Chains A and B, each alone.
Chain A
Amino acid sequence: MEIGLNHYLVLSTILFAIGLVGVMRRKNLLLLFFATEILLNAVNIAFAAISHYYGDLTGQMFAFFVIAIAASEVAVGLGLLIVWYKRHGSIDLDALTTMKG
């Protein structure tokens, strides 16, 4: 059976939805970051798929830069998380409601 662009896009959407579930569900900050990674990867698949089916390298470039940015984001995010943990002793989301409106 022919695998078309639509298949990849549906797959990407499903993965994105799973990532959304994770983002909304997780109360531990570290695991929240995991869910964010899932989101980014799903989008990468979509980019690569479109790039393949249109013969255009732009999609792959995009995915490439997304990976770079995700890496730096993880570095900084974990650093911040460490500082927070040192100060508050916990990384549970329900505990860090200091910006209550």
Chain B
Amino acid sequence: MFEAVAFYLFAFLTIAMFFITVTTSHALYALTALAAGMIFISAFFFILGADFLGAIQIIVYTGAVMALYAFGMMFFDTTRELKEKQGNKLIVTGLATLAAILTVVIVAAPMVSENIVAFYPAIENVGNTQNVGLVLFTKYLVPFELAAVMLLVAMIAGIVLAGKKMDISITLLDDKEIEEELNKKVLS
């Protein structure tokens, strides 16, 4: 019973938040609504007993990703109201609705087989985090390492793309030389 209440409540909230994200003309409101939506999704993860995933969702998504977006918003100066030339609204909503209906039809059709065998069944009597840890570092080790490498690559890419001219190393020069470099830039 509690589960049903929680589910419906959070479902309604999530849908409302995401709806605001896609329809508002204020960029700031969109960002805020998105962040709120992320939190509510993590609530779903907790309802489903995926504790580790829920925590990760909050930390990574709401914490890191949203922070990134906030910085991005500051950079692009999108605090003003957006002027967006909209195309045909009917096509957009119509297409989306159609996609949704089709997916539901596919998914809600009688399940192909009722006797799906679980590959990596959860072990009883241990917490979710422990389960996740067990599976992650044994069966999913290689993807884990690869994901780590990928994150490293993304980080470096982010630095390179967004950084200013980096031919002067501020840490290795002392103050006087830094002054000279800056003056040179001002005069030229």
Contact = CB atoms under 8 A, between A and B. Distances in A.
- A–B contact, 8 Å CB criterion (strictly below): yes
Contact of A54 (B30, B96, B118): B118
Interface residues of A, number: 67
Interface in A1-30: 1-3, 6-11, 13-22, 24-28, 30
A55 interface: yes
A15 B18 contact: yes
Classify the secondary structure of B's interface with A: helix
Contacts, number: 217
Interface in B137-188: 140, 143, 147, 150-151, 153-155, 157-158, 160-162
A19 B48 CA distance: 22
A35 B96 contact: no
Contacts of B96: 17-18, 20-21, 24
Contacts of B64: 71
B44 A45 contact: yes
A30 B78 contact: yes
A56 B85 CA distance: 46
Interface string A24-53: 111110110111011001001100110110
Given A57-B122, A76-B157, A64 B150 contact: no
B27 A28 contact: yes
Nearest to B148: A68
A74 interface: yes
In this complex, which of B48, B108, B136, B157 has the most chain A Cβ atoms within 10 angstroms of its Cβ? B48
Nearest to B78: A30
Given A1-B4, A18-B19, 6 more contacts: A30-B27, A41-B38, A41-B61, A70-B65, A82-B72, A82-B162
21 contacts: A3-B4, A13-B103, A16-B99, A17-B96, A18-B15, A19-B22, A22-B21, A27-B84, A27-B85, A34-B22, A54-B118, A63-B53, A64-B132, A65-B143, A70-B65, A72-B151, A74-B69, A76-B154, A78-B69, A79-B157, A79-B160
Interface of A: 1-3, 6-11, 13-22, 24-28, 30-31, 33-35, 37-38, 41, 44-45, 48-49, 51-52, 54-58, 60-61, 63-65, 67-76, 78-83, 85, 91, 94
